[in-house]
């Protein structure tokens, strides 16, 4: 029985946190012995060498432990509480709530076509942690065996199931926790097969080469943060085993898809908790392409309640091996407990449209036009050197009239100073390089790096500036070249400046917003934000219908002029006209208009942006 949520949370809240290794080990051993005794398992082999001298705070918590919460499932969360928070972040160790593990295991088992002895199903969790997934798999296999009348009595069934469970983990104490949890569940009749180490790099030679079910929650180790980035030694080892799949900034969790598919039985299934960014991140494209050659992505489950303590939005992906390549492959998309869509599996270039379906983002067809924005305009964005290279050349210019500003002092535009066809520079503070600015300008002549200085000079042309991490595509028009982009703002510079308003309308179109959201869903800072990439903007198709596009361009210019005149009602009306015109220009449904307008920044939001 899974622990009652309220009862287990009260116990976990009473535990001390951030203990040193010695006291943490004694604490988790005492908790395991206590729960084992209550479950009729008097000997916990995993902690046989640990003295029974837990901290007093742990003894006090155990005295108040509700019997309903005294189940093996409480061991993993207990170990997470006892760990120091910085250790959890560095290891990417966030244990899985039992109800989430049960859900993912059920979806994985439903996708598999398991054959043979129902009690001989081998299950492997390559990052087992406290054993949440293996406990969930054990429970599911027990139900399956009882329904099919396999095995002997309940104890024999549990013993046979646990003897076919395999657990890997880097953390030797977490592996002990997993061992103890499954031994308690089996009533002391069996223990899982364990391997301490990095499953990405090696497996014990005596282990099976393939498993019926592979499930787990691998550590999320994003490569843009110094405390989770791979070391040079680790990177070399991973590239030796996974080749180009380990290059770039792919989150290490993505490599477990490749690992699992390499060791999956032909009738089995792989189910992993993953960061949403794996679906659309450019650096994970190699992982997606490789997976698509080996397996079908049959199910995508989206966490709708924030079940994990980590500040990362998650999904679960379920794969089954290709037995015969189907002409049409469908992925079932679920949001929490509800099935929301059955979507044709998108190309490996991006699986983000599946997440878009769960988020009620309209799936619009790719436009039929042949001309792409990149064919008629340079689309570019700066990099780290362009951000840090101007830090000493930016000043606040709120007291200098525009007519007095030298041409070599363009205004610096951050994403925070851009609303849809509304330039907020000077109207509200923005943040740049860790400071707040009222009206930042760049003293071009003071940029020390000649290459960075030249890059900014090249941006001082008529253009569009496109913000990132926004609910809709937010663009401002710079007809004179007096604005320059701060990273990650994108600069769109047409060869023909007379196209500025047409391109502003095309980029701002509701259908473009929906396409970009679908393409990059899960890669933004929040579920509603679009992480805009210059390459994707360059590839966007321009409208095939010219007259409606002309109307959209005129509406874009009216919106710009209304904002400059402080006419917010006129600005809102012009944006509505733009949406109507561009839906017609792209041949889309009018339903897109209301959806797009609902995502626009509200006036009260603008004052806080």
Radius of gyration of the chain (CA): 28
| pLDDT tens per residue, range 79-95 | 988 876 555 544 545 67
Q: Which residues contact 501 (CB under 8 A, 6 or more apart)?
A: 477, 553, 554, 556, 557
Given CA atoms 73, 76, 80, 82 in this order, what sign does their dihedral have? positive
- What is the longest distance spanned by two Cα atoms in the chain? 90
- Picking from 59, 80, 81, 78, the residue whose alpha carbon sits closest to that of residue 69 is 78
- Spatial CA neighbour of 505 closest among 494, 519, 495: 494
Report residue 42 as tokens: 């008097």
DSSP state of 72: G
User: 470 Cβ partners below 8 Å, 6+ apart?
Assistant: 415, 418, 529, 530, 532, 601
Pull the structure tokens for residue 69. 């919460």
Give the rounded percent of residues in the chain with a pLDDT score beyond 90: 57
Per the omega criterion (within 30 degrees of 0), is the bond before 540 cis? no
SS3 435: strand
Q: Assess contact for 287 and 330: CB atoms under 8 A.
A: no
The pLDDT score that the predictor gives to residue 271 is: 98
| Mean of pLDDT values over 222-232 | 53
Q: At what angle do helices 132-147 and 154-162 cross, to 10 degrees?
A: 130
Mean pLDDT of 3-10: 63
Give the highest mean pLDDT range of 336-340, 463-467, 602-606.
Answer: 463-467
Q: What is the pLDDT of residues 307-352, one digit of tens each?
A: 665 556 789 999 999 864 454 589 999 988 887 788 888 888 888 8
Residue 365's pLDDT is 79
Compute the distance between CA of residue 557 and CA of residue 564 in angstroms, rounded to an integer. Answer: 11
CB 370 within 8 A of CB 360: no
Rounded distance, CA 572 to CA 178, Å? 57
| Residue 68 DSSP label | G
Q: How far is the C-alpha of 286 from the C-alpha of 226, rounded, in Å?
A: 23
Instruction: Classify residue 369 by burial, with Cβ atoms within 10 Å: 0-12, 13-18, 19+.
Output: middle
Going by pLDDT thresholds of 50, 70 and 90, the confidence category of residue 118 is low
Look at residue 153 and tell me whether its pLDDT is greater than 80.
no
| Cα gap 559→507, rounded to integer Å | 14
So what's the pLDDT on residue 327?
A: 46
Hunting for tokens 């363009």 — which residue is that?
Answer: 410
3-state secondary structure of 11: helix
What CA–CA distance (Å, rounded) separates 111 from 317? 11
CB-CB contact of 160 with 118 (8 Å): no
Residue 602 DSSP one-character state: P
For tokens 């198709």, name the residue. 541
Model confidence band, residue 609 (pLDDT cutoffs 50, 70, 90): very low
Indicate left, alpha or beta for 40 from its phi (over 0: left) and psi (-120 to 50: alpha).
left
Measure the CA–CA gap between 575 and 570, rounded to whole angstroms: 9
Q: Find, among 191, 203, 243, the residue nearest to 41 by Cα.
A: 191
How far from the centroid of its chain's Cα atoms is residue 119's Cα? 35
The mean pLDDT of 412-439, rounded to a whole number, is 92
pLDDT of residue 401: 58
User: Mean pLDDT in the chain?
Assistant: 86
- Model confidence band, residue 360 (pLDDT cutoffs 50, 70, 90): confident
Quote the DSSP letter at residue 191.
-
Compute φ and ψ for 153, nearest 5 degrees: -75, 175
For the record, the structure tokens of 51 come out as: 């003295």
Name the burial class of residue 236, with classes exposed (0-12), middle (13-18) and buried (19+) by CB atoms within 10 angstroms of its CB: exposed
Q: How confident is the model at residue 525 (pLDDT cuts 50, 70, 90)?
A: low
CA distance 162 to 268: 18
Per-residue model confidence as pLDDT tens digits over 498-518 = 999 999 999 999 999 998 888
3-state SS assignment for residue 167: strand
Going from the N-terminus, what domains does the chain have, and what CATH number goes with each?
96-358 (3.40.50.150), 373-606 (3.90.220)
Question: Token pair of 309, please?
Answer: 């303590």
* Mean pLDDT, range 173-200, rounded to an integer: 95
pLDDT tens figures, 40-82: 888 899 999 998 887 888 888 888 888 888 899 999 999 988 8
**Could you give the 3-state DSSP secondary structure of residue 96?**
coil
The mean pLDDT value for 261-288 works out to: 91
C-alpha span between 394 and 391 (Å, rounded): 6
Strand ranges for 304-447 from DSSP E: 314-321, 330-335, 338-344, 377-381, 394-396, 411-413, 418-419, 422-423, 430-432, 435-437, 440-442
* Consecutive H or E run containing 470: none
State the alpha helices, DSSP H only, in 186-251.
232-242
Residue 122 to residue 605: CA distance in whole angstroms: 53
Per the structure block, which two tokens stand in for 136?
Answer: 């969930």
**At a CB cut-off of 8 Å and minimum separation 6, what does 17 contact?**
81, 82, 83, 84, 85
- The C-alpha atoms of residue 351 and residue 330 are separated, in whole angstroms, by 12
Q: Are 575 and 394 in contact (CB under 8 A)?
A: no
């Amino acid at each position: 029985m899974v622990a009652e949520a309220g009862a287990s949370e009260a116990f976990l809240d009473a535990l001390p946190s951030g203990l040193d290794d010695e006291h943490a080990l004694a604490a988790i051993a005492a908790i395991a012995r206590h729960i084992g005794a209550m479950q009729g398992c008097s000997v916990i082999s995993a902690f046989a060498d640990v003295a029974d001298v837990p901290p007093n705070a742990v003894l006090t918590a155990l005295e108040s432990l509700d019997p309903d919460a005294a189940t093996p499932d409480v061991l993993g969360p207990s170990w997470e509480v006892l760990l120091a928070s910085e250790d959890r972040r560095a290891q990417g160790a966030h244990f899985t709530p039992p109800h989430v593990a049960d859900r993912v295991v059920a979806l994985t088992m439903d996708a598999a076509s398991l054959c043979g002895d129902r009690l001989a199903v081998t299950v492997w969790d390559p990052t087992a942690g406290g054993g949440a997934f293996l406990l969930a798999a054990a429970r599911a296999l027990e139900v399956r065996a009882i329904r099919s009348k396999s095995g002997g009595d309940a104890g024999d069934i549990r013993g046979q199931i646990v003897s076919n469970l395999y657990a890997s983990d880097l953390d030797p104490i977490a592996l002990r926790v997993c061992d103890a949890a499954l031994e308690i569940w089996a009533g002391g009749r069996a223990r899982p097969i364990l391997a301490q180490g990095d499953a990405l790099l090696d497996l014990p030679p005596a282990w099976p080469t393939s498993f019926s079910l592979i499930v787990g929650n691998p550590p999320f180790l994003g490569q843009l943060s110094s405390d989770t980035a791979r070391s040079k030694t680790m990177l070399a080892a991973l590239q030796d085993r996974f080749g180009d799949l380990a290059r770039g900034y792919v989150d290490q969790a993505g490599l477990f898809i490749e690992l699992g598919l390499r060791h999956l039985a032909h009738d089995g299934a792989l189910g992993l908790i993953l960061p949403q960014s794996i679906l659309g991140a450019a650096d994970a494209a190699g992982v997606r392409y490789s997976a698509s050659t080996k397996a079908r992505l049959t199910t995508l489950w989206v966490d709708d309640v924030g079940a994990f303590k980590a500040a990362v939005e998650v999904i679960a992906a379920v794969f089954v091996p290709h037995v015969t390549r189907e002409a049409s492959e469908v992925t079932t998309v679920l949001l929490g407990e509800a099935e929301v869509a059955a979507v044709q599996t998108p190309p490996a270039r991006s699986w983000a449209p599946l997440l878009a379906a769960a988020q009620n983002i309209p799936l619009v067809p790719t436009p039929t036009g042949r001309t792409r924005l990149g064919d008629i305009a340079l689309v570019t964005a700066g990099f780290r050197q362009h951000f840090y290279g101007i830090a000493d050349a930016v000043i606040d210019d709120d007291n200098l009239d525009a007519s007095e500003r030298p041409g070599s002092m363009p205004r610096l535009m951050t994403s925070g100073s851009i609303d849809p066809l509304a330039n907020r520079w000077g109207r509200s503070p923005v943040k740049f390089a860790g400071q707040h600015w009222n009206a930042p300008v760049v003293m071009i002549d003071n940029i020390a790096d000649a290459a960075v200085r030249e890059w900014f000079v090249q941006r001082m042309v008529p253009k569009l500036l496109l913000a990132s991490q926004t609910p809709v595509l937010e663009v401002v028009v710079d007809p004179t070249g007096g604005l320059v982009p701060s990273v990650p703002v994108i600069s769109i510079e047409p060869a023909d400046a007379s196209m500025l308003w047409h391109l502003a309308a095309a980029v701002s179109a509701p259908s473009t917003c929906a396409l970009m959201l679908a393409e990059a869903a899960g890669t933004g800072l929040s579920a509603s934000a679009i992480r805009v990439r210059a390459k994707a903007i360059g590839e966007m198709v321009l409208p095939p219908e010219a007259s409606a596009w002309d109307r959209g361009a005129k509406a874009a210019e009216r919106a710009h002029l209304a904002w400059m005149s402080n006419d917010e009602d006129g600005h809102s009306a012009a944006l509505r006209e733009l949406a109507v015109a561009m839906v017609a220009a792209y041949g889309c449904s009018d339903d897109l208009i209301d959806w797009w307008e609902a995502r626009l920044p509200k006036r009260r939001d603008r004052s806080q942006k």
